[in-house]
Structure 1
Amino acid sequence: MLKKNDAQGHSVHPATASLHAGFRSDPTTKAVCVPIYQNTAYELDGDLSKIADIYNVKEDGYTYTRIINPTTRALETRFAAVDNAADCLAVASGQAATFIALANLCSGQPGDNIVAAPFLYGNTWNLLHNTFRRFGIETRTAANSEPAEFEKHVDDRTICLFGECVSNPILDPLPVRSLAEIGRKRGIPVVVDNTTTPLVCRPSNLGAAMATYSATKYICGHGTTLGGLISDYGSFPFQQYPDRFPLFSAPDEAHGGILWHQAVQEVNDLGKSAALLKARMTWLRDTGPCASPFNSFQLLQGLETLHLRMRQHCENAEIVADMLNNHPKVVRVTHPSHFTGRKRELADDLFDKRYGYGAMLMFEVKDAASGRALIENVEMIYHVSNVGDARTLITHPVSTTHTTVPREKRMAAGINDGTIRLCVGLEHADDIIRDLERALSAVN
């Protein structure tokens, strides 16, 4: 098994880790690719006291696929190496990843709150402001993405600062490094959603405690497979803040009075993150959004080429953004490569320039009718509301994802009548441009 560092202590490049980490070969057949262990349960043979230790989190082992599965565990270990994380937990979708990552931090007592960025993916916004509210977890929204606006809402029951590294769809950059400084000062972890910029943005280098991913998007890369991933970077000392995070330092009744900071020291494979060990053995066990073994296999295939695809996605996006910026029927283009001033400083801090500035961009035509005409006249590009596919995807939010949102709220969130979201794929840039120019020619 390849670790994050090789035998000589050299850091393993993500391109290497994506092919080798977490699995060398099947011990029985010597098959090189990770097998699909498409089963639910595992034979409990041998010493019953040893089996009891597995259930009591005193020893590694497989019990039930809702909690742990060999194929899924290979994905978790491999992505942890790619993402420079202590460990990783795979779940059924990106929404499940966000839910479990945040719910896992709650104390179980009234008063817990999350301070969130103002621009969030719509379903994340609903999770935080409606579903979590019904559980007694309040979400407070910063007025803008300035760190001081986050800190205004912090109190002694704040369980995390949360936002998307680059918001979907308006591409607002999150000041992760500055938020992490506030978090260190106040004893609060920063949790980020890095779905749209895996590898392009490295949360571990910016001070984030944890990151969530909809692996359905770029990690899969081909629009075929649902999945979610939670990375714990091992940088936040939950046990040092028992008043804020009592379940990380006091006995947890959800698992027989276990002390998670002690349990993580008794296991080997699962002994790299107390936070994710707790999430696996309580939230994943009790709510059940486990990753399918077959989906985990599919995500492993996508992960192998992630570093290649993200470079090409980003390169194509910059070329397309430049073309649109010079087109007479385009009112405005939003892409991090075109940012100036403070936003450009943030983008340069967030993004690894060896990859680029991300694959998503927004542009505007003059009105809703122009937006609809554009969408109706693309031929090669797919009109799809998903993101992160190998193919270029386009959508007019006013006619699709934001059609039920009141106009004033939609425009306050940066979605105007003629806003178009474009997720640039892996086709040749000339063909993407040719299709967009054809569609723009139909706009009055």
Structure 2
Amino acid sequence: MNDRSHLTTRAARAGAHVAPGTALPLVPALHQTTVYGYPDLASLHRVNNGEERGQAYYRFGHYNGQVLEQAVADLEGAPDAVTTASGMAAITGTVLALAETGDHVVADRNVYGGTRSLLETDLPRLGIHTTLVDGADLTEVGRALTPRTKLVLVEALTNPTVRVPDLPALSALAGHVGAKLVVDGTFVTPALLRPLDHGADLVWHSVPKYLGGHSAAMGGVVAGPRDLTARIRQSIIHLGATVGPFDAWMALLGLKTLGLRMQAHSQGATAVAEFLAAHPAVTHVNHPSRPDHPQAATAAKLYPDGTGGMLSFALAGGRPAVDQLISRLNQTIPLSPSLADVSTTMIHPATTTHKDLPREELDALGITDGLIRLSVGIEDPADLIAELGAALAP
């Protein structure tokens, strides 16, 4: 730059031409920019045409998003991945990319409330209709499938009753009608289960949960074969639902400890579930490690390394007992409308995550007024058990 240029000119261009050194940082650099400069049109055209890797404008993809995509694809054993601005952006972009007017979706009625709202409120306006089923009941799933079914949507572990669908069996059923099996892997992560290894076509995650691990990074991600992710990527670009560089960068930092965290989450939840199951104030516990869980055999087959930190339990005292528990634990285990943090949190599904469902459907799903969902963190299980024991005391 000409040293005799005006200060306003030099300030506007400051740092733009400082090249990085030859050494690679241990943490990928944060490229907090929305646009990139090119030396000539030929270079820009090569990137836009997919002939070489690069970035032009953030909505079409950027460096930090691409690093996170590569990392998640590698962990999931997938050829490719697409990052998005949120988990809901991930599933919305996926459905809109793979289904059109007149198509049919089969979904587990236990899926996340936001997913159900998309399926029951938004998609019908586009002529895409959904049949809700019990994803763990293969007969019911089979009856719901039609030649127009394009997608079968399930969660690897459901929220909040932690049911366990048989992914290989669902994959076979979906394949009979040419449908794609799409699995929400948020509760398990590739540290515990890689759905693509069990016949799923796509797996998606809400990044703020276990992948990021610290309730800080926002975003979503979908992993699978390139022919599908290419269509989803275009959908995300059209929706303007690209993840931000800083969120992608933070998520990658959290991803580095994923294996260690998921091991601790799993061990802690199993110990806490055992304690709660024996407590007189608790009527039942939903956790796949329990022998009384309805899909215990499927869980043992699919999850030899544990099932993560999610569990739910019902209090004999109903809603008054829930309110008392929340009050007694507010200094140690907070009430939080999310999950999968390194610290333990809880929520009351009937009045939060599933509040829009009618009472009869809540009852059918096992979401009673006395049900608490507990997201067990990485704290020492003995401390959590002591805190819960004191709070549940008469």
- TM more than 0.5: yes
Equivalence for 2:33: 39
- Is it true that 1:358 corresponds to 2:308 in the alignment? yes
Please state whether the residue corresponding to 1:163 is helix, strand or coil: strand
Equivalence for 2:24: 30
Equivalence for 2:112: 121
Equivalence for 1:101: 94
What are the within-5 Å matches in structure 2 for residues 152-231 of structure 1? 152-198=143-189, 199-231=191-223
Measured in 1, the distance between the counterparts of 2:95 and 2:261 equals 29
Measured in 2, the distance between the counterparts of 1:51 and 1:399 equals 51
- Given candidates 81, 85, 99, the residue that maps to 1:88 is 81
TM-score, length basis structure 2 = 0.90
Equivalence for 2:15: none
Question: Structure 2 unaligned runs (5+)?
Answer: 1-19
Question: How far has the Cα of 1:396 moved from its partner?
Answer: 2.1
Question: How far has the Cα of 1:333 moved from its partner?
Answer: 0.9
Equivalence for 1:438: 390
Measured in 1, the distance between the counterparts of 2:216 and 2:102 equals 40
In 2, are the aligned partners of 1:394 and 1:421 still within 8 Å (CA)? yes
Q: Tell me the amino acid that sits aligned with residue 45 of structure 1.
A: P
Q: Tell me the amino acid that sits aligned with residue 215 of structure 1.
A: V
What are the within-5 Å matches in structure 2 for residues 59-70 of structure 1? 59-70=52-63
In 2, are the aligned partners of 1:163 and 1:193 still within 8 Å (CA)? yes
CA spacing shift, 1:307–1:143, aligned 2, 3 Å: closer
What's the C-alpha RMSD, in Å, of the aligned pairs?
A: 1.7
Question: How far has the Cα of 1:143 moved from its partner?
Answer: 4.8
- Given candidates 218, 224, 229, the residue that maps to 1:276 is 229
CA spacing shift, 1:438–1:342, aligned 2, 3 Å: closer
In 1, are the aligned partners of 2:314 and 2:372 still within 8 Å (CA)? yes
In 2, are the aligned partners of 1:372 and 1:399 still within 8 Å (CA)? no
Q: Tell me the amino acid that sits aligned with residue 33 of structure 2.
A: N
Question: How far has the Cα of 1:362 moved from its partner?
Answer: 0.8
- Is it true that 1:285 corresponds to 2:242 in the alignment? no
Measured in 2, the distance between the counterparts of 1:336 and 1:358 equals 10
- Is it true that 1:345 corresponds to 2:297 in the alignment? yes
CA spacing shift, 1:80–1:389, aligned 2, 3 Å: same
In 1, are the aligned partners of 2:213 and 2:254 still within 8 Å (CA)? yes
Question: How far has the Cα of 1:403 moved from its partner?
Answer: 4.2
CA spacing shift, 1:325–1:341, aligned 2, 3 Å: closer
Cα deviations by residue, 1:245-274 (Å, 9 ceiling, x for unpaired): xxxxxxxxxxxxxxxxxxxxxxxxxxxx12
CA spacing shift, 1:93–1:27, aligned 2, 3 Å: farther
In 1, are the aligned partners of 2:149 and 2:177 still within 8 Å (CA)? no
TM-score, length basis structure 1 = 0.80
What are the within-5 Å matches in structure 2 for residues 262-411 of structure 1? 273-280=226-233, 282-340=234-292, 343-351=295-303, 353-354=304-305, 356-366=306-316, 367-378=318-329, 379-411=331-363
Question: Is 28-37 or 122-131 further displaced after alignment?
Answer: 28-37
Equivalence for 2:9: none
CA spacing shift, 1:319–1:342, aligned 2, 3 Å: closer
CA spacing shift, 1:391–1:286, aligned 2, 3 Å: same
Equivalence for 2:67: 74
Please state whether the residue corresponding to 1:104 is helix, strand or coil: helix
- Over 4 Å off, 4+ runs: 26-29
Cα deviations by residue, 1:53-74 (Å, 9 ceiling, x for unpaired): 4334454331111111111111
Once the two structures are aligned, what percentage of the paired residues are identical? Answer: 31
Question: How far has the Cα of 1:50 moved from its partner?
Answer: 4.9
Please state whether the residue corresponding to 1:152 is helix, strand or coil: helix
CA spacing shift, 1:68–1:402, aligned 2, 3 Å: closer
Cα deviations by residue, 1:181-212 (Å, 9 ceiling, x for unpaired): 12233222100001011121220221101011
Measured in 2, the distance between the counterparts of 1:36 and 1:228 equals 18
Question: How far has the Cα of 1:161 moved from its partner?
Answer: 0.9
- Is it true that 1:133 corresponds to 2:124 in the alignment? yes
Q: Tell me the amino acid that sits aligned with residue 203 of structure 1.
A: P
Measured in 2, the distance between the counterparts of 1:318 and 1:437 equals 16
In 2, are the aligned partners of 1:368 and 1:398 still within 8 Å (CA)? no
Question: Structure 1 unaligned runs (5+)?
Answer: 1-25, 235-272
Q: Tell me the amino acid that sits aligned with residue 401 of structure 1.
A: T
Q: Tell me the amino acid that sits aligned with residue 33 of structure 1.
A: V
In 1, are the aligned partners of 2:135 and 2:165 still within 8 Å (CA)? no
Q: Tell me the amino acid that sits aligned with residue 207 of structure 2.
A: A
In 2, are the aligned partners of 1:92 and 1:289 still within 8 Å (CA)? yes
Measured in 1, the distance between the counterparts of 2:310 and 2:134 equals 24
Q: In the comparison of the two structures, how many residue pairs are matched?
A: 372
CA spacing shift, 1:376–1:429, aligned 2, 3 Å: same
CA spacing shift, 1:384–1:228, aligned 2, 3 Å: same
CA spacing shift, 1:370–1:340, aligned 2, 3 Å: closer
Q: Tell me the amino acid that sits aligned with residue 134 of structure 1.
A: R
In 2, are the aligned partners of 1:118 and 1:145 still within 8 Å (CA)? no
Measured in 2, the distance between the counterparts of 1:320 and 1:341 equals 15
In 1, are the aligned partners of 2:83 and 2:219 still within 8 Å (CA)? yes
In 1, are the aligned partners of 2:283 and 2:314 still within 8 Å (CA)? yes
Measured in 1, the distance between the counterparts of 2:195 and 2:134 equals 23
Measured in 2, the distance between the counterparts of 1:297 and 1:274 equals 26
Q: Tell me the amino acid that sits aligned with residue 192 of structure 1.
A: V
Q: Tell me the amino acid that sits aligned with residue 209 of structure 2.
A: K
Please state whether the residue corresponding to 2:295 is helix, strand or coil: helix
